Amino acid sequence: MRVLITGITGMTGSHLAEYFLNKGGFEVYGSYRRRSPRLNLEDLERSGRIKYVEAGVSDVKVIKKAFDKSKVNMIGAELTDAFSVRKLIAATEPEYIFHLAAQSYVPGSWNAPAETLQTNIISELNILEAVREMGFSPTIQIAGSSEEYGLVKPDEVPIKETNPLRPISPYAVSKVTQEMLAYQYFRSYGLKTITTRGFNHEGPRRGDNFVTSSFAKQIALIEAGKQEPIISVGDLTSKRDWADVRDVARAYHLLVEKCQPGEVYNIGTGVSRTIQEMLDLLLTMSSIKVEVKQDAARMRPSDVTLLWADASKFKAATGWEPEIPFEQTMRDLLNYWRAHV
Ligand code: NDP
């Protein structure tokens, strides 16, 4: 099977690439930008299991010849550029597409709403159009988000796919639109799109602006004597349903094999914890004594306060269950930062 992962330099994309490579029987392709950080791919680089193919002025035949099927093949592509995306799709002829690339940071979307909408919506549009024009028939996973639910009422949890969507950030609006676009291309042209509403997923390589990773990194910095023993926090009362990114990678594979095109699936653990509980857990893993200080810059204009997944639809379709306990996820994340600060 030929697998194309957009956003392969991100946390989830890098784990998904390793998942398919280690599983065997898959040709793995990923799109990257010239300026993309390569940190998340360092394990693949170190073991010589990655190959960069610069699309540049080369035509599709030349790009295809440069691929090494035993490695993760990285193709330079600008996803907001339709020409670039057509070349990417023509060169890789994917049978599975995992569309993960996105401006994925909710607070960043208030600061750059137009860029968020442009990246998240137009990139997907370019992929769907390229697939349609070329007459390929891949199964396409679209990474929607639990943020689409937005304002969730206390009597609506755990949240089912049928819950109303009340998005309250530009990021969430972009994800609702991505989902609608996927549905429209399924209905209008029969493209095999499936949308996941992923609840938070965490683990090694999580960007340090996300709350779990921010706390873990700060603890590692304090342990290393590189930060005063003060942890800056935002709102600690909101609740999240945190899965391990490696369980989510496995879920995505099951999704494209077993789920129904045109449908939407929640992916989450079914356990909801406050951000305070997550911080307390991390602090039990370290011997440091810290002061916890609220930082106004970390507060959001409107916050999603309650996320708790009912993933029974996805579990019934695939048999998926999360396997990695939350404690392990957080310990691995903290150890990741201990090795990187
Ligand atoms: P990351 O932020 O770790 O990775 C995002 C990826 O998108 C990176 O590879 C980044 O590339 C790429 N990207 C960003 N902007 C652009 C652009 N303009 N053009 C091309 N590529 C771009 O995200 P995650 O791995 O955490 O998430 C993957 C997907 O899942 C995202 O769509 C996210 O919204 C969604 N999601 C994630 C959840 C989570 O908790 N992790 C929960 C629900 C949904 P570069 O390295 O070049 O910046």
Element containing residue 106 per DSSP (H, E) = helix 106-111
Same domain, 127 and 260: yes
Q: From 41, 42, 44, 104, give the residue whose CB has the most ligand 1 atoms within 8 Å, as the site to mutate.
A: 104
94/118 same-domain check = yes
Does 143 lie in the same domain as 47? yes
pLDDT of residue 299: 78
CA of 207 to the centre of ligand 1 (A): 10
- 11 and 49 part of one domain: yes
Residue 118 lies in a domain: yes
CA of 210 to the centre of ligand 1 (A): 12
Residue 314 belongs to some domain of the structure:
no
Long-range contacts of 204-207 (CB under 8 A, 24+ apart): 204/245, 204/332, 204/333, 204/335, 204/336, 205/11, 205/14, 205/15, 205/39, 205/40, 205/245, 205/336, 206/11, 206/245, 206/333, 207/10, 207/11, 207/104, 207/105
Whether residue 226 sits in one domain with residue 191? no
Residue 181 belongs to a domain: yes
Domain count, the chain: 2
Question: From atom 28 of ligand 1, which residue's Cα is the shortest distance away?
Answer: 100
CATH number at residue 230: 3.90.25.10
Tell me: do 147 and 167 sit in the same domain. yes
122 plus 259 within the same structural domain: yes
Q: Are residues 223 and 145 in the same domain?
A: no
Of 179, 177, 205, nearest to 194 by C-alpha is 179
One domain for residues 255 and 135: yes
Which alpha helices (H) appear in 168-306, and where do they start and end?
170-189, 211-223, 245-258, 275-284
* Whether residue 143 is found in the same domain as residue 286: no
Q: What is the CATH number of the domain that holds 86?
A: 3.40.50.720
Long-range CB contacts (< 8 A, 24+ apart) of 129-134? 129/82, 129/85, 130/82, 130/85, 130/86, 130/88, 130/89, 130/90, 131/89, 131/97, 131/191, 132/185, 132/189, 132/191, 133/86, 134/86, 134/89, 134/90
Ligand 1-lining residues (CB < 6 angstroms): 7, 9-13, 33, 36-37, 79-80, 100-104, 119, 123, 143, 145, 198, 200-201, 207
Evaluate whether residue 103 is within a structural domain. Answer: yes
Look up the pTM and report it. Answer: 0.97
The per-residue pLDDT for 154 is 94
Structural domain contains residue 180: yes
Q: Which helix (H) or strand (E) holds 340?
A: helix 326-340
Domain boundaries, position 287:
211-240+272-304+324-340
Centroid of ligand 1 to alpha carbon of 100 (angstroms): 6
**Is 161 in a helix, a strand, or coil?**
coil
> Residue with the nearest Cα to atom 11 of ligand 1?
7
Which atom of ligand 1 is found nearest the CA of 146? Answer: 43
Q: Based on the fold, state whether residues 168 and 221 are members of the same structural domain.
A: no
| Whether 223 and 260 share a structural domain | no
Is 114 a domain residue? Answer: yes
| Residue 29 β-bridge partners | 4, 73
Ligand 1 centroid to Cα of residue 324, in Å, is 22
Residue 319 lies in a domain: no
310 assigned to some structural domain:
no
Q: How far is the CA of 217 from the centre of ligand 1 (A)?
A: 19
Mean pLDDT by 10 residues, the chain (341 residues): 98 98 97 92 96 85 94 96 96 98 96 98 98 98 98 97 97 98 98 98 96 97 98 94 98 98 98 97 97 86 90 98 98 98 96
